[in-house]
Amino acid sequence: MRLRRTKLYLPGNNPNMLLRGHLFNPDGVILDLEDAVAMSEKDAARILVRDVLKKSDFGDCEVTVRINGMDTDLWKVDIETVVPCGIDGIRIPKVEDPKDIVLMDEALSQIESKAKIPVGRTLIFCLLETALGVWRAFDIARASKRVAAICPGGEDLRADLKTTRSENSEELIGPRRMIVLAAHAAGVDALDTVYADITDDAGLRRETEWVKQLGFQGKSVIHPNQISIIHDVFTPTAREVEQAQKIVEAAAEAAARGLGAVQVDGKMVDKPVVKRAEYTLQRAGMKAGGEKR
Amino acid sequence: MTINAAGRNIPDSIPGYGEVRHFKGHDRRPPEGCRFGKRNRTAFNTRRDKTLPDIKAAISASGLKSGMTLSFHHHLRNGDFVVNAVLDACAEMGIRDLVIFPTALFGVHKHLTKHIQSGVIRQIMGSVNGPIGQLASEGGMSVPVVLRSHGGRPRAVTSGEVVIDVAFIAAPTSDKYGNLTGAVGKSACGSLGYAHSDADYAQCVVAITDNLVDYPAPCIHIPQFFVDFVVPVDRIGDPAGIVSGTTRVTRDPMRLLIAHNAAKLIEATPYFKDGLSFQTGAGGISLAVAAYVRDAMRERGIKGSFGLGGITEFFVDMMKEGLFERLLDVQSFDLAAVKSIAENPNHVEISADWYANPWNAGCAVNMLDTVVLGATEVDREFNVNVNTEADGAMLHGIGGHQDTAAGAQLTIITTPLLRGRIPCAVDSVYTVTTPGEVVDAVVTEFGVAINPRRQDLIDAAREAGDVPLVTMDELVEKAQNFTGPMTPVETEDRIIGVVEYRDGTVIDVVKQLKKK
């Protein structure tokens, strides 16, 4: 299992951030060629991102590039430039149609074989930023084996839903739930959108706790200072880990003795409880990441 | 020419500076001679008022003539009016060819350019921050600037290597008999630490104040028996440039990352224990290190003994919280520090001599455990440059850099690996300010390099497990990999700046920039 608690956006035209983003220990970085880059700077940013990908060592980070949308004429040159550098994945904005994912899959395969990279290595992360995209979430998630996660949009999605931002983002409750449902039905991760107010640590924590409860595996991040808070929420506590260990051990012992269900601390432990405990241990076993302030 | 202990090829004599004593390594120049004595004088009890109507009257009364040496302190920082006013008066009185000996000059002193160009000022001995430094770097001064550290300067004064003819002391408060304080007044600046040696050793002392009070003044920092004349003026400075309002810890993630790496190193060492002493600057990274160290002290229940140096609200709050017993303050940076030094007996003013002079019976830096310092660049030998920028311009003073690095048990340099596209870890620094032999660790966002001389620290950091250790060579190579080769600075042969080590030897020189 790959931890994707935090995915840090790095503006593709900012060498300072591109070189240093991984030092803040997010689980992944997103080198952004889309919204962070003005139309007049697209070529320069693409070249810069390519050079950074070639030169920099990102440590344990999952390295992805947000390319320009498939409704523009930039996406092909974007992937032709960055995929041969051996990145972990691309993030496609404003996905609405599963057919586009099929098309992207084929294009990626061609570039990979030409660049002598194992075909299928480059994963796809889909941003669903319109009502139609969210509506088709399941089909999009299943359109290619490369799809690793689907993610709701923020402001774009609000605009498409003909609504605005409210204090608790109530307008996104429905889309977020749909994405969680579609992602887990399709066997991919559900990754949440960014929390825009970079000075409101308490608000970020509240929202992260809420989306974790909904079933998301992580969040996109626009400022390094947000990483430790999100990791804190998504990383199991020592008590949770201890409890999970007890459950997994008891289940293993029961299985060895041919028993179906066992009790731990007076509570019945059945299959879903064991499954959740195993998931907790998986998440805890990974690197801690982030810097606690 | 002689290659000194810092590996620099230095002439044996420099025009306008004189014979060079070469740097032979830290603590290699033993003190010589006796403390300097100034002329005796008296003020009979028939003269019970030292005030004079204006600066010109004081200049006349002091006997100041062309060719003499004038000193100033920099406690009013970029809000200072006094240096400009005194030099304007000298110019109007036809006095020329002066040597000015400030503890530092700031952007506000760009005004002196015309006095340099017209020959009123011949030489500057002191830190030249900003525009005057640029002017000197481009060859705008006929005699080299001499840079000394906060400890090296009082050493030069107390040993008589520099004789001050007239010290002009900006005093936020004075009485008519010359008792001075920085703690109160509309231009309050807190400590007057840098002015003490000047008051004690100058042949004549003129206080300039914008708050003349009844005798005796409160909270006396510099007593009456040093001061010859007192000049009341409307304003000695602009409070907005003297002290900052509040000091806030940065939210800049890169600075926080560097600071956190530094704090992890500090926590890993044996110096992080009850009774610790600590100094940082007021800059973004330094203050953030202090914040992390404070949090760790709280968490582990550690109580420190003293905070040293330039004091900020942050240190004042740590003392109030019981994390320090006392503050030893040579320079107060913000309003909270000014208020504290006036009210709290545990917030002690110290002179630059007390703070950092290597030629006395023991200065405060010798008792310091940990200091966190900055750099414009560092090199493979851990040498540090704080004086010149990547383009070769001499824009910064030494401050207490050499002194605290030499005195502290743990000297940490924090710096980003790159500033923009300029590498800060290089093969060899352009100017050696502080020799690598007194530097223990360089902390960047890409990791912490510990001087191989300190195997004990390397072991401690390894044992702690959370210090991201790298070697200095790795840092230099990483920086080079990002930036590619830099175009070397092109210079003339003429020396425009002499960098003294704190013991008065010459550690490096700065050459005039070639015209582009």
| Interface predicted TM-score (ipTM) of this complex, two decimals | 0.81
Distances (CA, A) of B55 to A156, B62, B86, B96, B224: 67, 10, 7, 16, 19
A200 and A84, same domain (yes or no): yes
What does pLDDT average to over chain B? 95
Distances (CA, A) of A231 to A216, A221, A224, B250, B255: 13, 11, 12, 22, 20
**Amino acid identity, residue B222?**
I
| Nearest chain B residue to A16, by CA | B420
In a domain, A148, yes or no: yes
Mutation target to probe the A interface, by most A beta carbons within 10 A, among B255, B257, B475 is B257
Q: Tell me if B132 sits within 8 A of B110, measured CB to CB.
A: yes
CATH code for the domain of A124: 3.20.20.60
CATH superfamily of B49-242: Glutaconate Coenzyme A-transferase (3.40.1080.10)
What average pLDDT score do residues B290-294 get? 95
B371-396 b/e (C-beta count within 10 Å ≥ 16 → b): bbbbbbbbbbbbbbbbbbbbebbbbb
Q: How far apart are CA B436 and CA B380, in angstroms?
A: 9
Q: Assign B417 to helix, strand or coil.
A: coil
What average pLDDT score do residues B220-249 get? 90
**Amino acid identity, residue B65?**
K
Interface of A with B (CB under 8 A): 15-16, 19-20, 23-24, 55, 199, 223-225, 291, 293
In a domain, A213, yes or no: yes
Q: What is the pLDDT of residues A139-153, one digit of tens each?
A: 999 999 999 999 999
- Pairing status of strand B418-419 against strand B422-423: antiparallel
Residues of A in contact with B294 (CB under 8 A): none
A52 and A174, same domain (yes or no): yes
What average pLDDT score do residues A195-223 get? 95
A90 and A209, same domain (yes or no): yes
What average pLDDT score do residues B218-245 get? 93
Torsion of Cα atoms, A111 then A116 then A118 then A119, to 10°: 30
CA atoms within 13 A on the CB side of B503: 18
B367 touches chain A (CB under 8 A): no
A217 and A256, same domain (yes or no): no
Q: Tell me if B292 sits within 8 A of B300, measured CB to CB.
A: no
Q: Tell me if B498 sits within 8 A of B512, measured CB to CB.
A: no
Residues of B in contact with A200 (CB under 8 A): none
Of A199-203, A282-286, B200-204, where does mean pLDDT reach its minimum? A282-286
Q: Assign B262 to helix, strand or coil.
A: helix
Q: How far apart are CA B93 and CA B104, in angstroms?
A: 25
Torsion of Cα atoms, A71 then A73 then A74 then A77, to 10°: 130
A229 and A242, same domain (yes or no): no
A93 and A60, same domain (yes or no): yes
A149 and A85, same domain (yes or no): yes
Closest CA to B306 of B338, B328, B282: B328
In a domain, A291, yes or no: no
| Residue B173 in tokens | 């408060």
Q: What is the pLDDT of residues B14-71, one digit of tens each?
A: 999 999 999 999 999 999 999 998 889 888 888 899 999 999 999 999 999 999 999 9
Q: What is the pLDDT of residues B396-444, one digit of tens each?
A: 999 999 999 999 999 999 999 999 889 999 999 999 999 999 999 999 9
Distances (CA, A) of B280 to B105, B285, B288: 21, 9, 10
Max CA distance (Å), chain A: 68
What does pLDDT average to over chain A? 92
Q: pLDDT value at position A285?
A: 64
Query: What percent of chain A has a predicted confidence (pLDDT) above 90?
Result: 75
Closest CA to B167 of B232, B224, B227: B227
Residue B248: Cβ within 10 Å count? 11
In a domain, A104, yes or no: yes
| Residue B488 in tokens | 């070397």
A194 and A136, same domain (yes or no): yes
Q: pLDDT value at position A292?
A: 34
Closest CA to B76 of B88, B86, B89: B86
**pLDDT of B136 strictly over 60:** yes
Q: How far apart are CA A96 and CA A160, in angstroms?
A: 12
Closest CA to A228 of B464, B263, B251, B265: B251
Looking at A234, A249, A267, the residue that finishes a domain is A234
Q: What is the pLDDT of residues B322-355, one digit of tens each?
A: 999 999 999 999 999 999 999 999 999 999 999 9
What average pLDDT score do residues B445-454 get? 97
Q: pLDDT value at position A40?
A: 95
Query: What percent of chain B has a predicted confidence (pLDDT) above 90?
Result: 91
Residue A166: Cβ within 10 Å count? 10
**Between residues B341 and B282, which one has the greater pLDDT?**
B341
Count how many pairs of residues, chain A against chain B, have C-beta atoms within 8 Å: 28
Provide the residue range defining the domain that includes A194: 6-234
Work out the minimum CA distance from B470 to partner chain A, whole angstroms: 14
Residues sharing a CB contact under 8 Å with residue A280, sequence separation 6 or more, in sequence order: A236, A240, A241, A244
Q: pLDDT value at position A265?
A: 83
In a domain, A1, yes or no: no
**pLDDT of A290 strictly over 80:** no
What average pLDDT score do residues A28-35 get? 97
Q: Tell me if B415 sits within 8 A of B281, measured CB to CB.
A: no
In a domain, A290, yes or no: no
Q: Is B27 left (phi over 0), alpha (psi -120 to 50) or beta?
A: left
Q: Tell me if B380 sits within 8 A of B441, measured CB to CB.
A: no
Q: pLDDT value at position B516?
A: 78
Q: Tell me if B168 sits within 8 A of B70, measured CB to CB.
A: yes
A142 and A247, same domain (yes or no): no
A199 and A245, same domain (yes or no): no
Q: Roughly how many angstroms between the first and final C-alpha of chain A, as a whole number?
A: 27
CB contact under 8 A, A224 and B420: no
Q: pLDDT value at position B499?
A: 98
Q: How far apart are CA B315 and CA B301, in angstroms?
A: 17
CB contact under 8 A, A24 and B420: no
**Between residues B219 and B45, which one has the greater pLDDT?**
B219
What average pLDDT score do residues B147-159 get? 98
Q: pLDDT value at position A288?
A: 40
| Residue B262 in tokens | 């530094």
**pLDDT of A286 strictly over 60:** no
Q: What is the pLDDT of residues B241-260, one digit of tens each?
A: 988 766 678 888 999 999 99
- Per-domain residue ranges of chain B: 49-242, 253-489
A257 and A185, same domain (yes or no): no
CATH class of B253-489: alpha beta
| Residue A213 in tokens | 């409860």
| Nearest chain A residue to B422, by CA | A16
| Residue B510 in tokens | 């700065």
Closest CA to A6 of A120, A151, A170, A181: A151
**pLDDT of B508 strictly over 80:** yes
Residues of B in contact with A225 (CB under 8 A): 251, 253, 256
Residues sharing a CB contact under 8 Å with residue A86, sequence separation 6 or more, in sequence order: A53, A117, A121
| Nearest chain A residue to B444, by CA | A23
Residues sharing a CB contact under 8 Å with residue B64, sequence separation 6 or more, in sequence order: B70, B90, B95, B165, B166, B204
pLDDT band at A67 (very low <50, low <70, confident <90, very high): very high
Q: pLDDT value at position B245?
A: 67
Please give the tally of structural domains in chain A: 2
Q: What is the pLDDT of residues A82-133, one digit of tens each?
A: 999 999 999 999 999 999 999 999 999 999 999 999 999 999 999 999 999 9
One fold for B49-242 and B253-489: yes
Mutation target to probe the A interface, by most A beta carbons within 10 A, among B250, B292, B445 is B445
Residues of A in contact with B253 (CB under 8 A): 24, 223-225
Determine whether B37 is exposed, middle or buried from the number of CB atoms within 10 Å of its CB (0-12, 13-18, 19+): exposed
In a domain, A90, yes or no: yes
Q: How far apart are CA B382 and CA B448, in angstroms?
A: 12
Helix B253-268 / helix B284-300 crossing angle, nearest 10 deg: 50
Query: Which is it for the CA torsion A64, A67, A71, A75, positive or negative?
Result: negative
Query: Which is it for the CA torsion B207, B209, B213, B219, positive or negative?
Result: negative
| Nearest chain A residue to B478, by CA | A56
A251 and A164, same domain (yes or no): no
Element (H, E) at B482: helix B472-483
Q: pLDDT value at position A293?
A: 31
Whose tokens are 């060492």? That residue is: B269
Could you tell me which residues are beta bridge partners of residue B212? B174
Closest CA to B161 of B45, B33, B71: B33
DSSP string, chain A: ----SEEEEEETT-HHHHHHGGGG--SEEEEESSTTS-GGGHHHHHHHHHHHHHH---TTPEEEEEPPPTTSS-HHHHHHHHGGG--SEEEESS---HHHHHHHHHHHHHHHHHTT--TT-SEEEEEE-SHHHHHTHHHHHTS-TTEEEEEE-SHHHHHHTT----TT-GGGHHHHHHHHHHHHHHT-EEEE-----TT-HHHHHHHHHHHHHHT--EEEESSGGGHHHHHHHHSPPHHHHHHHHHHHHHHHHHHHTT-S-EEETTEEE-HHHHHHHHHHHHHHHS---S---
CB contact under 8 A, B260 and A20: no
Q: pLDDT value at position A287?
A: 39
| Residue A270 in tokens | 């059945």
CB contact under 8 A, B253 and A16: no
| Nearest chain B residue to A59, by CA | B446
Q: pLDDT value at position B246?
A: 64
